[in-house]
Amino acid sequence: MAILCKAMILLPILQLAISLTAAYGGNFNQDFDVTWGDGRAKIMNYGQLLTLSLDKASGSGFQSKNEYLFGKIDMQLKLVPGNSAGTVTAYYLKSAGSNWDEIDFEFLGNLSGDPYILHTNIFTQGKGDREQQFYLWFDPTRNFHTYSILWNPQHIIFSVDGRPIRVFKNAEAIGVPFLNKQPMRIYSSLWNADDWATRGGLIKTDWTKAPFTAAYRNFNANACVWSSGSSSCTSGSSSSSSNAWLTQELDVTNHRMLRWVRKNYMIYNYCTDLKRFPQGLPAECKF
């Protein structure tokens, strides 16, 4: 089995027991637990739809039952419509402990008609400060859109509707820790952050518009599921049974799309913020 061998070579130190299992379809009842919000998070349509809501008393959230070490993880989100100023919908992967790893998508709400900010960050061993922010090229509240994280031993690629928006390369060679030792869970929550979210906290949540609701569907994980110290890689609900994502790279078209997003929609990049890093940009910025 070529696929098995490739995976084994890629991850030798982890001594992973890799096995391919049959189709793995997304079902919120099967894959996630509602963790807080006292009834404000709801799983509906036989597990096909999940909604989070936020009112003055509380937000809500859920987390994956599984922990993953590498994966291509897709989720469709439809964000809080109308006046969502002050609200934040967070969708992220995070490991446990005080030296945690984390990959973040955070959607910062706005006044009706004003653009959401998609805020991204990466933590390695408890250290973040790697923010990049984007506007979107569509209204994320009208329809569901796909937000994906490709996380393999070479890099992490954030994508929106299949367009790469951000790449974080494995720069261990120059001393930057990579996210390859700690399994992470998927988390999501909808909460009030009107002290900073919209125009830096200037615009507050309008509670007369509550409850605020965000919706999720079509979760798919082609991922390696962590269980008692070893990892087994599934091939998702897509018909392909290959684990090509484990070695997937950006092709020419992907590079072009990434450049297009960065040129037209990126509004903040820590890697160009010399004011913030007067003694030099973080090492991975030059890698």
Ligand X SMILES: *[C@@H]1O[C@H](CO)[C@@H](O)[C@H](O)[C@H]1NC(C)=O
Contact positions toward ligand X, by CB under 6 A? 108, 110, 114-115, 117, 197-199
List the catalytic residues: 102, 106
Distance from CA of residue 139 to its chain's centroid? 19
CB nearer to ligand X: give 204 or 256. Answer: 204
Assess contact for 21 and 232: CB atoms under 8 A. Answer: yes
* Backbone phi, psi, residue 96, to 5°: -90, 170
Nearest-approach distance from CB 246 to ligand X, in angstroms:
35
Q: Which is nearer to ligand X, 6 or 209 (CB)?
A: 209
Angle CA 46–216–160, to nearest 5: 140
Positive or negative: CA dihedral 146, 248, 129, 276 = negative
Q: How far apart are CA 47 and CA 32, in angstroms?
A: 10
> Could you tell me the smallest distance in angstroms from the CB atom of residue 141 to ligand X?
13
Pick between residue 26 and residue 86 the one whose CB is nearest to ligand X: 86
Length, in residues, of the chain: 287
The CA–CA distances, whole Å, from 157 to 102, 121, 144, 258 equal 13, 12, 20, 10
Q: Is 83 in contact with 111 (CB distance < 8 Å)?
A: yes
Residue of this chain nearest to ligand X (CB atom) = 114
Q: How far is the CB of 203 from ligand X (least distance, A)?
A: 7
Rounded to a whole number of angstroms, the minimum distance from the CB of residue 269 to ligand X is 15
SS3 label, residue 182:
coil
Between residues 102 and 194, which has the closer beta carbon with respect to ligand X? Answer: 194
Give, as one character, the DSSP assignment of residue 247.
G
From the CB of 16, what's the least distance to ligand X, in Å? 40
Q: Which residue has the tokens 């999940």?
A: 50
Residue 25 or 115: which CB sits closer to ligand X? 115
